[in-house]
């Protein structure tokens, strides 16, 4: 747990700074270039880098016969990693390393794609039987007959003639039978016990053939301990074989990292978006582990797990879909699949994550992992992850998407919740820091508001000096981008706005420092149980809870079962997990079906229902929204047992709803009203219609708030009420200063202050009884200027245009000088339409002597793209707000004479690249304005 330190806020240490994803060309690297790029990242304000062995990019000076020396884990790779560690450690610049090269996880220790330690798919073959069947077990055409495959089981069930549920056929649940014991040499002689049409199924396991393209090795089985041991064994035997290099890794104490779990049950049709196939993700031990963990045999019910496309990336339905071969009871089918998915979750957690985490921790390293992508229950998986990570791409910039994991982060007491931020399809060299169109800060602010407190930028390519073979055709200015232009972004030194990176990374670091102080405090726990692996259906629109000012986490049964999930007291209220998030209430809400968007009740185990009753009886408010849960989560091995458990659950829910601290409502809007009736109010309340998002941290009686205006068009001006005793202080994340705020105290542990936030703007607020550190009294920093306005009518513009040099990594500068009578986008100035670079705008204005000491002079910048610096009379204004662009300049002025104003603007490289790429359109950039110098009166807004 971090403790407030004023020096850390002003100049944050590397551990609070954003990290950079660093794509490397295998071992084809130069040590001096490795050192230079690490030093550049450190100087630009990054605190570390995530090293990824991307594709080996052969250099022209390396003989093809020697390529084998440059593989992952080879001597050359180890030599380069040693150089990277030796460059990083003295700078306190922490390096993280992918578990294997690229992903899905693979290891040179397992190179045969038929090895049982590789990812498996379970295939289903079917034959229609009327009467007797004597023949071979049916083999589907999804099997590759040229590779080994194993018979797992044989079952049968009678076809149902009524309502159709299965996509291909519907089966009678009561007739499902395991016939595996009757198989002889892959043949069976079997007579159906009843009349009608029967289906005979053969289930075959085959490794999926999915390869890690970085090293040409197969993806490992993520449910197998033997596969995880192969990965860590390779680290021991190759990467750590040299004790000096191992000591450097351990001294660096970074993290092992794995990206999202991009596994396919089958590679038929390709990696992404293939034609949906009825092949399920599998592992050889699933049936045994299922029987042990769920208490019944999955074998007779195997047909129900084959939801076509579910186990292929981007190929089809999510877990609410029906199987090709489903049974007559849809509710039973869903719960059989729940049991299957939960078993996969348990195996992934216990066999894979735990093995790798223990190995990493044994070498002073942590495990940072994006555990989503498969049909697993995310909360349970995160029990074996030191640093959970989400991403802006997969969760579609959805705050609710990030909250699927935030409850686990907070209840497992993880200090860091990381985000891979900035991957936007088609935005390479185009994504800006500050813009509205997927601006990086817009993405990051949404994550911060949902509990994230560490950013890893996607990303930066190593500057390869040469590229041979087929890579040579792609080796064009400004260098070989290993992610191409498909995904943003190149945040390294290739783009003009990289020259301003330090101002942005300082801002992120100060914000992350505050969001890592003490413990999180969250208003609501919202119960949600849905095994979907990743939920892209959650939108970016504010929910009714967010509109009302509530913060919340999603919680699942395994989280409510933790020892820390007990009723305690915080700030005079009964709360859940008082030493952690201190939830003021639990909301049992419905969830959207991933296929249709319709609302349905989450499944609820009886044990969790009993916990809700105990919580409510201990004084914790509970609100049930919409249809109350009436299904347990498990099948329990039979329809009768399942129904009996459902009856028990309905009885438990009825008991719950009759408790005095419980309310049942129809909608989320009604839930907000019910929470008010139960005296549950948000920690941050807004006294106007413009909603704000927030995150709260708490330490030693001081509340720290991250406040965010999620609108991209409307500024916020209004009163904000903060929970906490004492006075509010504004902590400026742009320049590190701290200012007291004028406030009104209600006497009930609430403090009210006036606040102004630009669209996408943020504020950091501390509420404390006293503040012992030095304070700044800059009353006019965020005031709304109301007085006389000066609008410069002439500007001199000097542009250093970035253009292609003689070598793909060489950028040359060409100077363009212009005189402007008005400000406008470079795209509207013919000579600048396809120009990227640094533009320096200069103008002058005169201010007469002023005797009014209560007045201030404000520079209002208007529209700028992308980043900027401001100079007044030759003095730079440090820490200017790149979002609000509302800058106090009074102390820099010379009264009674002319004043010189210079604005330096840095763009992305997009417009210059549009010359070479007809599919890339020039985008507005430069100082667009309007720019005004305004004499204002003191404002009541901070």
For position 712, what pLDDT does the model report?
Answer: 93
Q: What's the count of helices (H) and strands (E) in the chain, helices before strands?
A: 18, 50
Q: How far apart are CA 534 and CA 391, in angstroms?
A: 10
Query: What's the sign of the alpha-carbon dihedral 430, 436, 438, 439?
Result: positive
Query: pLDDT-based confidence at 537, cuts 50/70/90?
Result: low
Q: How far apart are CA 145 and CA 676, in angstroms?
A: 64
User: What phi and psi values does residue 201 have, to the nearest 5 degrees?
Assistant: -115, 135
For residues 166-176, one letter each, b for 16 or more C-beta atoms within 10 angstroms of the residue's C-beta and e for the rest, the string is bbbbbbbbebb
Tokens of 433: 């820091």
Beta bridge partners of 5: none
CB atoms within 10 A of CB 941: 17
The residue-averaged pLDDT of 732-751 equals: 90
Query: What's the sign of the alpha-carbon dihedral 11, 17, 23, 25?
Result: positive
The residue-averaged pLDDT of 24-29 equals: 96
Residues 6 or more apart whose Cβ sits within 8 Å of residue 45: 17, 18, 501, 502, 504, 505, 506, 509
Percent of the chain with pLDDT over 70: 97
Q: How far apart are CA 729 and CA 508, in angstroms?
A: 19
User: What phi and psi values does residue 890 have, to the nearest 5 degrees?
Assistant: -55, -40
**406, pLDDT greater than 70:** yes
Task: Provide the terminal-to-terminal Cα distance of the chain, rounded to the nearest Å.
Answer: 30
- Least Cα distance to 554 among 584, 579, 521, 588 occurs for 588
**784, pLDDT greater than 60:** no
Tokens of 919: 């599919």
Q: How far apart are CA 575 and CA 581, in angstroms?
A: 9
Instruction: Say which residue, 726 or 251, is predicted with more confidence.
Output: 251
658-708: pLDDT as tens digits = 999 999 999 999 999 999 999 999 999 998 888 999 999 999 999 999 999
94-133: pLDDT as tens digits = 999 999 998 899 999 999 999 999 999 999 999 999 999 9
Query: pLDDT-based confidence at 818, cuts 50/70/90?
Result: very high
Q: How far apart are CA 719 and CA 769, in angstroms?
A: 20
For position 786, what pLDDT does the model report?
Answer: 55
Tokens of 870: 């401001």
869-908: pLDDT as tens digits = 999 999 999 999 999 999 999 999 999 899 999 999 999 9
449-494: pLDDT as tens digits = 999 999 999 999 999 999 999 899 889 999 999 887 778 999 999 9
Mean pLDDT of the chain: 94
**781, pLDDT greater than 50:** no
User: Which domains does the chain carry?
Assistant: 6-103+370-514 (no CATH), 519-677 (3.40.50), 684-768 (2.60.40.1180), 789-936 (2.60.120.260)
Write the secondary structure of 19-51 as one string of H (helix), E (strand) and C (coil): EEEEEECCCCCCHHHHHHHHHHHHHCCCCEEEE
């Amino acid at each position: 747990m971090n403790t407030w330190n004023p020096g850390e806020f002003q100049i944050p240490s590397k551990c609070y700074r954003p990290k950079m994803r660093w794509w490397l060309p295998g071992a084809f690297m130069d040590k001096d270039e490795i050192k230079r790029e690490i030093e550049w990242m450190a100087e630009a304000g990054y605190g570390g880098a995530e090293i990824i062995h991307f594709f080996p990019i052969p250099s022209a000076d390396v003989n093809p016969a020697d390529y084998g020396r440059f593989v992952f884990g080879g001597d050359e790779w180890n030599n380069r990693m040693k150089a990277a560690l030796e460059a990083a450690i003295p700078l306190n610049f922490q390096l993280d390393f992918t578990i294997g090269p690229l992903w899905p996880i693979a290891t040179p220790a397992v190179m045969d794609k038929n090895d049982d330690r590789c990812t498996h798919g379970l295939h289903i073959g079917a034959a229609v039987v009327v009467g007797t069947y004597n023949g071979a077990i049916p083999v589907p055409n999804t099997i590759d007959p040229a590779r080994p495959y194993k018979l797992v089981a044989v079952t049968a069930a009678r076809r149902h003639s009524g309502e159709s549920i299965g996509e291909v056929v519907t089966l009678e649940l009561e007739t499902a039978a395991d016939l595996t014991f009757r198989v002889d040499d892959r043949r069976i002689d079997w007579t159906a016990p009843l009349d009608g049409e029967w289906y005979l199924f053969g289930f075959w396991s085959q490794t999926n053939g999915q390869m890690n393209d970085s090293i040409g090795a197969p993806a490992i089985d993520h449910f197998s301990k033997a596969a995880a041991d192969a990965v860590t064994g390779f680290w021991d035997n190759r990467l750590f074989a040299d004790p000096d290099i191992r000591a450097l890794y351990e001294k660096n104490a970074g993290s092992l990292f794995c990206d999202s779990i991009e596994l396919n049950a089958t590679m038929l049709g390709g990696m992404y978006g293939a034609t949906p196939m009825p092949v399920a993700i599998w592992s050889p031990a699933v049936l045994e582990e299922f029987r042990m963990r769920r208490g019944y045999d999955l074998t007779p019910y195997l047909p129900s797990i084959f939801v076509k496309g579910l186990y292929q990336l981007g190929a089809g339905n999510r877990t609410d879909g029906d199987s090709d071969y489903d049974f007559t009871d849809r509710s039973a089918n869903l719960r059989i699949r729940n049991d299957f998915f939960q078993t996969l979750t348990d195996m992934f957690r216990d066999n894979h994550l735990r093995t790798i985490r223990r190995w990493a921790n044994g070498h002073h390293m942590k495990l940072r992992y994006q555990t989503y992508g498969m049909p697993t229950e995310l909360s349970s998986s995160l029990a074996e992850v030191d640093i959970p990570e989400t991403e802006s791409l997969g969760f579609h910039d959805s705050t609710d998407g990030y909250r699927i994991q935030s409850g686990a982060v907070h209840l497992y007491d993880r200090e860091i919740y990381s985000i891979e931020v900035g991957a936007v399809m088609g935005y390479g060299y185009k994504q800006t820091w500050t813009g509205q169109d997927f601006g990086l800060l817009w993405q990051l602010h949404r994550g911060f508001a949902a509990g994230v407190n560490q950013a890893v930028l996607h990303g930066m390519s190593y500057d390869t000096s040469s590229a041979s073979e087929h890579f040579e055709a792609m080796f064009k200015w400004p260098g070989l981008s290993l992610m191409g232009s498909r995904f943003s972004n190149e945040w390294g030194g290739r783009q003009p706005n990289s020259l301003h990176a330090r101002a942005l990374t300082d801002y992120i670091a100060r914000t992350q420092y505050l969001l890592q102080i003490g413990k999180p405090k969250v208003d609501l726990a919202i119960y949600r149980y849905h095994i979907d692996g990743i939920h892209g259906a959650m939108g970016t629109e504010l929910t009714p809870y967010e509109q009302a000012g509530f913060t919340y986490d999603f919680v699942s049964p395994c989280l409510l079962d933790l020892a820390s999930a007990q009723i305690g007291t915080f700030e005079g209220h009964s709360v859940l997990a008082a030493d952690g998030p201190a939830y003021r209430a639990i909301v049992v809400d419905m969830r959207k079906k991933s296929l249709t968007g319709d609302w349905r009740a989450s499944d609820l185990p009886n044990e969790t229902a009993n916990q809700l009753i105990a919580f409510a009886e201990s004084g914790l408010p509970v609100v049930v929204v919409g249809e109350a849960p009436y299904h347990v989560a498990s099948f329990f091995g039979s329809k009768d047992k399942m129904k009996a458990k459902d009856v028990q659950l309905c009885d438990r829910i009825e008991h719950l709803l009759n408790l005095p601290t419980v309310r049942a409502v129809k909608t989320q809007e009604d839930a907000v009203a019910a929470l008010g009736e139960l005296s549950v109010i948000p920690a941050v309340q807004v006294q106007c219609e413009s909603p704000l998002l927030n995150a709260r941290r708490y330490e030693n009686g001081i509340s720290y708030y991250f406040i965010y205006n999620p609108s991209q068009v409307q500024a916020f001006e209004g009163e904000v009420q903060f929970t906490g005793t004492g006075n509010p202080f504004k902590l400026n994340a742009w320049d590190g200063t701290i200012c007291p705020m004028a406030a009104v105290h209600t006497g009930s542990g609430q403090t009210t202050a006036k606040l102004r936030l630009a669209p996408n703007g943020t504020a950091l607020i501390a509420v404390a009884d006293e503040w012992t550190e030095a304070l700044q009294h800059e009353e006019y920093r965020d005031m709304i200027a109301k007085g006389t306005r000066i609008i410069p009518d002439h500007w001199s513009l000097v542009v250093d245009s970035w253009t292609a040099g003689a070598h793909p990594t060489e950028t040359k500068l060409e100077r363009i000088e212009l005189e402007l009578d008005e400000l406008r986008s470079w795209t509207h100035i013919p000579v600048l339409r396809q120009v990227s670079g640094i533009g320096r705008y200069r103008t002058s204005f005169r201010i007469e002597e002023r005797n009014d000491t209560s007045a201030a002079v404000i520079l209002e910048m208007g529209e700028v793209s992308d980043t900027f610096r401001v100079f007044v009379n030759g003095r730079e204004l440090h820490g200017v707000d790149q979002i609000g662009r509302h800058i106090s300049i009074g102390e820099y002025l010379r009264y009674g004479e002319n004043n010189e104003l210079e604005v330096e603007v840095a763009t992305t490289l997009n417009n210059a690249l549009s010359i070479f790429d007809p599919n890339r359109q020039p985008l507005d950039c430069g100082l667009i304005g309007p720019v005004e110098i305004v004499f204002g009166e003191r404002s009541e807004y901070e």
